[in-house]
Amino acid sequence: MLRDDIPGFPELGELEVLRHFTRLSHLNYAIESQFYPLGSCTMKYNPKINEVVARLPGFSLLHPLAPAELIQGALELLHGLEAMLAEISGMDRVTLQPAAGAQGELTGLMVIRACLKERGNPRRKIIVPDTAHGTNPASSTLCGYDVVQIPSNNRGMVEAGKVEEVMDEEVAALMLTNPNTLGIFEKNIQAVADVVHKKGGMVYLDGANLNALMGIAKPGDMGVDVLHINLHKTFSTPHGGGGPGAGPVGVKGFLEDYLPVPRIAKSNGNFRLQEDLPKSVGRVRSFFGNFGILVRAYTYIISLGGDGLEETSRMALLNANYLRKKLEGAYHLPYPEPCMHECVFTDRLQHKEGVTTLDIAKRLLDYGFHPPTIYFPLVASGALMIEPTETESRETLDAFAEAMGAIAREAKENPALVKSAPHTTPVGRLDEARAARKPVLRWEPTKKAES
């Protein structure tokens, strides 16, 4: 109340302020407003019942330092979620601590390293196929391992023979993404796992694409020893804007002792927290992980049940293959295998006219669609990675396919139109490299427009 007046401070009424922020909100892109076909991100709709349950006072007002005897309901939910995720994935024990998929990867590798170290040699190498997620090499390096990359074959799959060429007693694990980032199921996974296990290594599965498998197949039945699960992808919790997320890690029984603490145990009908586990890799996240996200995932699973989870996966597969067939004439399909939950095209046909993947993505904005993931995976040059998820209707998929087809025709007939897109958005074509290096964080009306 003693503050001096701020020079030039605007005097605005409540209605003017409300309209200003409402206008800003309309510039946001959200799954509630339009299709979000980001490949590998699984931008599915988050049912509002999940939000209702996460906001129940008993959950939302819970103090993270409350003793176990006062949070029995929360611990029961977490214990139940661990059991459900173990059943869905075919693993024996699950930790919910990791806050995202990448932290789940690191936690899984830490568990593998701790086990191998106790056996006498933590080893020094991790095998990563060229169709794995991009965080796999980073997680391996952060855990102290050297990365050995192996190529996929001309069908986009890993061959057991290629793994055998580099597999030795210094390889701690193979990090496999299945379905891989091309949207293709690794049909040789059991043969690959046999090669790794024969030399004393372990198989780590990047479970970010579990949305194609849940209710249909279990990674634990494929020779997988460790996997992480992205709750913010497969189990329908919001993850726009960089978070929040959750990356639970599941392991086979022989690795259970190395999981993070505290662990939830049930005895005499009560739940307690175990800390005194000497083989554990320790705590990897404060408190119980991103608790609100865990509540949403629990709600999603019990709402759908086993049959619903299976139907979810089958609809995701159907939608992705529907788009693959609709677009395969207009865009180059590098791997014509039937896809799983996502399909990958490239800009090879459009590149003849000087139109690139980035141009196609920019032009999609004019049609009201968020672009798919572009230039990933790297194994497909100029990639357009499309994941429709199970939550989109056929009408939405048809509209998206029609827009993509129109852009393919424009690339032939009027490439300059595509190369200069977008034309109808509030902000025109940006220089992304300059924007990243020199972001304008404060708007000053006296500055020239080109600044």
The string of DSSP codes covering 87-148 is HHHT-SEEE---SSHHHHHHHHHHHHHHHHHHHT---SEEEEETTS-THHHHHHHHTT-EEE
In a domain, 443, yes or no: no
Residue at which a domain ends, from 259, 281, 303: 303
In a domain, 3, yes or no: no
Q: The CATH number of the domain where 21 resides is what?
A: 3.90.1150.10
Residue 427 above 90 pLDDT? no
Q: Are residues 157 and 226 in the same domain?
A: yes
Percent pLDDT > 90 in the chain is: 84
Q: Are residues 327 and 260 in the same domain?
A: no
Query: Which residues are registered as beta bridge partners of 94?
Result: 250
Calpha distance 315→312 (Å, rounded): 5
In a domain, 41, yes or no: yes
Number of helices (H), then strands (E), in the chain: 15, 12
The answer to whether residues 387 and 317 touch, using CB atoms and an 8 Å cutoff, is no
Residue 443 confidence class, pLDDT cut points 50, 70, 90: low
Q: Are residues 136 and 157 in the same domain?
A: yes
Q: What residue numbers bound the domain in which 422 lies? A: 16-45+315-437
The answer to whether residues 425 and 363 touch, using CB atoms and an 8 Å cutoff, is no
Q: Are residues 221 and 129 in the same domain?
A: yes
Q: Give tens-digit pLDDT for 179-202.
A: 999 999 999 999 999 999 999 999
What distances in angstroms separate CA 22 from CA 15, 33, 95, 238, 425, one per listed residue? 10, 15, 41, 21, 17
Residue of 56, 427, 107 lying closest to 247 (CA atoms): 107
Instruction: Give the SS3 label for residue 433.
Output: helix
Calpha distance 199→298 (Å, rounded): 38
Q: The CATH number of the domain where 216 resides is what?
A: 3.40.640.10
Whether a cis peptide bond, with omega within 30° of 0, leads into 260 is no
Calpha distance 151→171 (Å, rounded): 17
The answer to whether residues 398 and 150 touch, using CB atoms and an 8 Å cutoff, is no
**How is residue 439 written in tokens?**
């972001």
Residue 446 above 60 pLDDT? no
Q: Give tens-digit pLDDT for 369-411.
A: 999 999 999 999 999 999 999 999 999 999 999 999 999 999 9
pLDDT of residue 445: 58
Residues 234, 236, 242, CA angle at the centre, nearest 5°?
Answer: 90
Instruction: Give the SS3 label for residue 403.
Output: helix
Q: Are residues 400 and 258 in the same domain?
A: no
Question: Helix 291-327 to helix 72-89 angle, to the nearest 10 degrees?
Answer: 30
Residue 439 confidence class, pLDDT cut points 50, 70, 90: confident
In a domain, 409, yes or no: yes
Beta strands 343-346 and 383-386, pairing class = antiparallel
Residue 436 confidence class, pLDDT cut points 50, 70, 90: confident
The number of domains in the chain is 2
Residue 451 confidence class, pLDDT cut points 50, 70, 90: very low
- Residues 387-413 as b/e (b if ≥16 CB within 10 A, e otherwise) read bbbbbbeeebbebbbebbeebbebbee
pLDDT of residue 287: 87
The pTM (predicted TM-score) of the whole model is: 0.91
DSSP per-residue string spanning 49-81 = HHHHHHTSHHHHT--TT--GGG-HHHHHHHHHH
Q: Give tens-digit pLDDT for 271-320.
A: 999 999 999 999 999 888 899 999 999 999 999 999 999 999 999 999 99
Residue of 293, 275, 239 lying closest to 85 (CA atoms): 293
What distances in angstroms separate CA 17 from CA 7, 266, 331, 451, one per listed residue? 19, 52, 46, 26
pLDDT of residue 31: 85
Q: Are residues 57 and 115 in the same domain?
A: yes
Q: Give tens-digit pLDDT for 120-132.
A: 999 999 999 999 9
What mean pLDDT is predicted for residues 426-430? 87
Q: Are residues 28 and 136 in the same domain?
A: no
Q: Are residues 82 and 214 in the same domain?
A: yes
Burial class (CB in 10 A: 0-12, 13-18, 19+), 91: buried
Q: Are residues 130 and 254 in the same domain?
A: yes
List, as own/partner pairs, every contact residues 252-255 make where C-beta atoms lie below 8 angstroms and the sequence separation is at least 24, other chains included: 252/91, 252/92, 252/220, 252/225, 252/226, 253/92, 253/93, 254/115, 255/93, 255/111, 255/112, 255/115, 255/225, 255/226
Residue 67 above 80 pLDDT? yes
pLDDT of residue 29: 84
Residue 56 confidence class, pLDDT cut points 50, 70, 90: very high
In a domain, 451, yes or no: no
Query: Which residues are registered as beta bridge partners of 150?
Result: 129
pLDDT of residue 10: 79
Residue at which a domain ends, from 245, 278, 303: 303
pLDDT of residue 430: 86
In a domain, 103, yes or no: yes
In a domain, 214, yes or no: yes
Q: Are residues 183 and 152 in the same domain?
A: yes
Which residues are CB-neighbours of 314 under 8 A, at least 6 positions away? Answer: 216
Query: Which residues are registered as beta bridge partners of 221?
Result: none
pLDDT of residue 246: 94
Calpha distance 203→408 (Å, rounded): 41
Q: Are residues 359 and 243 in the same domain?
A: no
Q: What is the mean pLDDT of the chain?
A: 93
In a domain, 447, yes or no: no
Q: Are residues 78 and 157 in the same domain?
A: yes
Residue at which a domain ends, from 254, 283, 303: 303
Burial class (CB in 10 A: 0-12, 13-18, 19+), 47: middle
Residue 448 above 80 pLDDT? no
Calpha distance 104→121 (Å, rounded): 23
